Amino acid sequence: MTSLGPTGGVAGNGALSIALVSEHASPLAVLGGVDAGGQNVHVARLAGALADRGHRVTVYTRRDARDLPERVPLRAGVEVHHVPAGPPEEIPKDELLPHMLAFGRYLAREWQVRPPDLVHSHFWMSGLAALHATRELRLPLVHTFHALGTVKRRHQRRADPSPPARIACEREVGTGCDRIVATCHDEVTELGRMGIPSDKVSVVPCGVDTAEFTPYGPVADRDGKYRHRLIQLGRLVPRKGAAVSIAALGALPGTELLIVGGPSADRLDDDPEVRRLRDLAQQAGVADRVRFTGGVPGDEVAPLLRTADVVLCPGDYEPFGIVPLEAMACGKPVVASGVGGQLDTVADPATGRLVPPGDPEALARAAGALLADPALREACGEAGRRRVLSRYGWPRVAASTESVYGEVLALRPAVTGAL
Q: What are the residue boundaries of the structural domains of the chain, listed by start?
A: 3-207+393-410, 228-391
Chain-centroid distance of CA 316 in Å reads 16
For residues 77 and 17, what is the distance between their CA atoms, to the nearest angstrom? 10
State the pLDDT at residue 29: 67
**Long-range contacts made by residues 286-290, C-beta under 8 angstroms, separation at least 24?**
286/246, 286/249, 286/250, 286/257, 289/226, 289/249, 289/255, 289/256, 289/257, 290/246, 290/249, 290/256, 290/257, 290/259
Would you say domain 228-391 falls under CATH 3.30.930.10? Answer: no
Nearest CA among 358, 353, 322 for reference residue 248: 358
State the pLDDT at residue 206: 92
For residues 340 and 344, what is the distance between their CA atoms, to the nearest angstrom? 8
Give kind and range of the element (H or E) at residue 237. none
Global confidence as pTM: 0.83
State the pLDDT at residue 37: 58
For residues 110 and 125, what is the distance between their CA atoms, to the nearest angstrom? 18
Nearest CA among 232, 416, 397 for reference residue 323: 232
DSSP assignment of 48-83: HHHHHTT-EEEEEEE--STT--SEEEEETTEEEEEE
Check if 3-207+393-410 and 228-391 are the same fold. Answer: yes
Give kind and range of the element (H or E) at residue 389. helix 374-391
Selected from 3.40.50.2000, 3.30.420.40, 3.20.20.10, 3.20.20.70, the CATH number assigned to the domain covering 3-207+393-410 reads: 3.40.50.2000
Nearest CA among 145, 133, 206, 153 for reference residue 173: 145
State the pLDDT at residue 320: 87
3-state secondary structure of 141: strand
**Segments in the chain below pLDDT 50:** 1-13, 30-35, 415-419
Give kind and range of the element (H or E) at residue 298. none
Say if strands 228-233 and 141-144 run parallel, antiparallel, or are unpaired: unpaired
Could you tell me if 323 and 32 are in contact, meaning their C-beta atoms sit under 8 angstroms apart? no
> Peptide bond before 360: cis, by omega within 30 degrees of 0?
no
